[in-house]
Structures are given as structure tokens and as C-alpha cells.
Structure 1
Amino acid sequence: MAEPPAQTPKQVTVIGHPLVQHKLTLMRHKDSSTGKFRQLAREISLLMAYELTRDLPLETREIETPMETMQAPILAGKKLCIVSILRAGDGIAEGMLDLVPSARVGHIGLYRDPKTLEPVEYYLKLPEDVGERLVIVVDPMLATGHSAAAALTRLKQAGATQLRFACLLAAPEGMKVLTETHPDVPVFTCSIDRELDSHAYIRPGLGDAGDRLYGTK
């Protein structure tokens, strides 16, 4: 696991579970096939979801077991909404849905304007009651942080009030942008890597997550 920066913001959680770190190392390996990479992304995303949902509120409900009735804990209120930042975010969302199949799913599409270098929204589809749900925004890589910050801003405009962001890898530069723009949003990542290179790739990183998930170049 890459060492987090000395001044990691309090809102950032680096998930150090041994299984998460083991699977992340396998994902980083350049010889991992598309199928293997996709499988690992799904597995590690499910494990991340445990951390992201650790404090969900519970209520009790009377049920009948084969032996007797009892008051049993069950999730309270509206369930989750997982919002994928297209396209690579889908590789993370699918694994989380294995754990919480009842979650609603939203999508947001952003591209970088070649002249201004600012994120431009081209697609947005969210559940109508997004404001009543805990929204987990997912994208494998937090590089410059601008797309993630723009996505969170747009979701707040759409009424979301309970937001969390999850990624496999983060660069210190992107983490700084995201946490300064949205200091109220908890961030979960499996590693904060060393730096961005001149092409805005995370180093040591794992390459382009979208290309590795879908076998494209």
C-alpha cells in the first residue's frame, strides 16, 4: 500500500484491509488480463462497500423465525444510490451492487473540454428521490480531481445531501482538489499513490482503468 501523505484530510479513509490490498496489487500488475482485471475490480468493490456502509442506520422489525417471533435489525429508511462516473465507474458500481442489490443506480457522464480543460457534463440520470438516499459516487481513479469534484457539485445541485466518494486509487493532487472543493464529503480509497505524471496518469498507478476494464485502447 502506498503511504498516505502526512497531511491526509480527516475526511479521507484509506482502506487497508489485507484482502483489498492483495487484490489491488493483482490489479496493478501489467500482465493481468482484461477478464482478470474486471473480476478483481468487482471483488475489491464489494469489499470497499463494506467500509462505505459500516454506519448505515438500523431499525428493528418484528419477524418470525422457524422457532419464534423476535425484534430483528434491518436497514432504516431509503436504501443507497450508487452513482457511476462514466464509463469506468461502472466497473466499481457492479461490485457494490453484488452486496446491496436493492440500491438505486445513477450515472453521470463528463468529458474534459480540450480548450478550457474544464469538465463538461454530457449525461445525467438519477433516481427522483436522490435527496432522500445516501449517494455513493464511484470512479476507479482520482487523478486531477476535477471530474470528481464537478460530479459532486452537480449531484448537490440535483438535491443530494448525503454523499460519499469511492475510488481505487488517488493521486495527492486530485485528493487536494476534491477535499478542498467538497470538505463535507467523506472519501474512501484503497491507496494514495505518489503523484501525477505530465499526462495526468497516476504513478505508480495501474494504467487506464477504463481501457483495462473493457479491453480498449
Structure 2
Amino acid sequence: MSSSSNQPTSPKQSVGPDYRDEKQKPTATVSTAVPFENVHTLPQTPQLIALLTMIRDKNTDRADFIFYSNRIIRLLVEEGLNHLPVVEHAITTPVGRSYAGVQFQGKICGVSIMRAGEAMEQGLRECCRSVRIGKILIQRDEETSMPKLFYDKLPEDIADRWCLLLDPMFATGGSAIMAVDVLKSRGVPENRILFLNLLASPEGIENFAKRFPQLRIITAFVDQGLDEKNYIIPGLGDFGDRFYTM
């Protein structure tokens, strides 16, 4: 029996509004469920599945890949912001009426894992004006096959901020784990880190969620698994190459 025969299959379900009859809703592959309270998967809506279909397609050209990836990134950032603390904030409207609202509490910053994570910076800037963004460069050591920290540049007051860690692909989790260790070494509490991610593997999610139980993971989709080369399957290829060069 081939190794691919032993791979778990991705779940499928009808997608669409609840008010539509099941016969009117198409069946599509949806995110794999994971049993961790600190992992939050975007709702598997027709819009999200259609966007993911576009960026997974090997025939999608670079311009369309960038456009549809940016739409998913925007959804991830918006959901990530929902997990930040707010406080009560009453205001008066232009017609003289009061409104019991809320406002964000505390400062935030983005931290991208270079280079693919830099593709998510614009989506964060579009939602958070003048947001500070730090960078971490981690590459795999050719001799040991382990992640190695090459460079980091972070805001001096990062320990006082909520950090949105940005990386679109989450396979084994080695780079993300090292990035979190860097943030924690700079004084950032684990519960002030949110990891925003487009596509993850169940193996990476499990390893990461257990290691950092207070950290929140916001992902668009948990895929089928990893192949023998630790590539996410069915995946979408190399995100950085498709976004920047192909």
C-alpha cells in the first residue's frame, strides 16, 4: 500500500447559508477540525472556500494569486482583531443620542516571519493605521535541517504591545515556534501573541497549540496533513514564490 493511501482525507460538507436547502448548496472540502481551544478557524463560508480554491489552483496567475490571497489575509486580520481586549466607551452621535460602544485597549504591533509573512503586512496596515511592524528571519540549517534565527528587528517597547505574528504557511511549525520564543525572550507574554495564518497542517497545529496553550492561533484552513517532504497537502505550493516571483 502506498504512503498516500495512509494519509487522512479532508472533510467535505455542504457550504452556504443555513436557509438554503441542502440540494441547493455545493459540497466542498472544508477545514479539518482540531481539538484545541486556542485554535480559531475562520467560518467555512462559500466566499472563503472560493478564495482558497483560487489560490490553490496551479493555473492561477500571480496577479490573481496576490489579489485573492490579500482578501483572505484581510479576513484573518479582522478576525484577529476580534480577539484583542476592548473597554466600554460611550459616545454621543451627531443627532444628540448616546450610544454604548467599545474601544480598543492597549497597543498592537505586527511581526512578520520573513519572507512570506511580509505578504500579510499590507492587510494589517489596511485595518490598523500606522501600526508598528517588526520582522524575524528564520531559515532552515542545511546541515541539521533545523530552523535557525538569522535576523530580527522588533519595536523597543514590544513587551508592552499585543503582537500579531504573521506567516501564511504553517507546516511543521518549527519557524513559528522559534519566532514565538524570540518574542517571549523580549518580554512579550504568551497570552499577548496572536498567530495569523492562511494554511496550516494538523501536525503543526497540534505541536504549536500544546507548546503555547495561552497563545491564540487564527487560521483560515487546517489542511489534510504533511507529505514525506513536510509539504502541506493538498496545499497551494510555495506561497512566497507564488506571491513575489511566479
Alignment match, 1:193 = 223
Query: Does structure 2 conserve the Cα–Cα contact (< 8 Å) formed by 1:138 and 1:165?
Result: yes
Q: Secondary structure at the match of 1:26?
A: helix
Distance 1:105 1:72 in 2: 32
TM-score after normalising by structure 2: 0.79
Matches within 5 A, 1:60-71: 66-68=94-96
Shift, 1:207, TM fit: 0.5
User: Where does the alignment leave 5 or more consecutive residues of structure 1 unmatched?
Assistant: none
Q: RMSD of the alignment, in Å?
A: 2.1
Distance 2:141 2:83 in 1: 38
Tell me which of the two structures has the higher relative contact order, counting C-alpha pairs closer than 8 angstroms and 6 or more residues apart. 1
The count of aligned residue pairs is 215
Matches within 5 A, 1:29-68: 29-59=57-87, 66-68=94-96
Query: Does structure 2 conserve the Cα–Cα contact (< 8 Å) formed by 1:41 and 1:95?
Result: no
Shift of the 74–3 alpha-carbon distance from structure 1 to 2, 3 Å rule, reads closer
Q: Secondary structure at the match of 2:116?
A: coil
Q: Secondary structure at the match of 1:32?
A: coil
Alignment match, 1:143 = 171
TM-score after normalising by structure 1: 0.89
Name segments (4+ residues, structure 1) moved above 6 Å: none
114-123 vs 61-70, which deviates more? 61-70
Determine which of 196, 202, 205 is the counterpart of 1:175: 205
Alignment match, 1:96 = 124
User: Where does the alignment leave 5 or more consecutive residues of structure 2 unmatched?
Assistant: 1-28
49-58 vs 82-91, which deviates more? 49-58
Listed one character per residue, the Cα deviations across residues 136-156 of structure 1 (whole Å, up to 9, x for unaligned) are 111111001111111011111
Query: Does structure 2 conserve the Cα–Cα contact (< 8 Å) formed by 1:84 and 1:93?
Result: yes
Shift, 1:194, TM fit: 1.0
Listed one character per residue, the Cα deviations across residues 148-200 of structure 1 (whole Å, up to 9, x for unaligned) are 11101111111112101111111112112211221221111111111111222
Shift, 1:118, TM fit: 1.7
Identity score, percent: 34
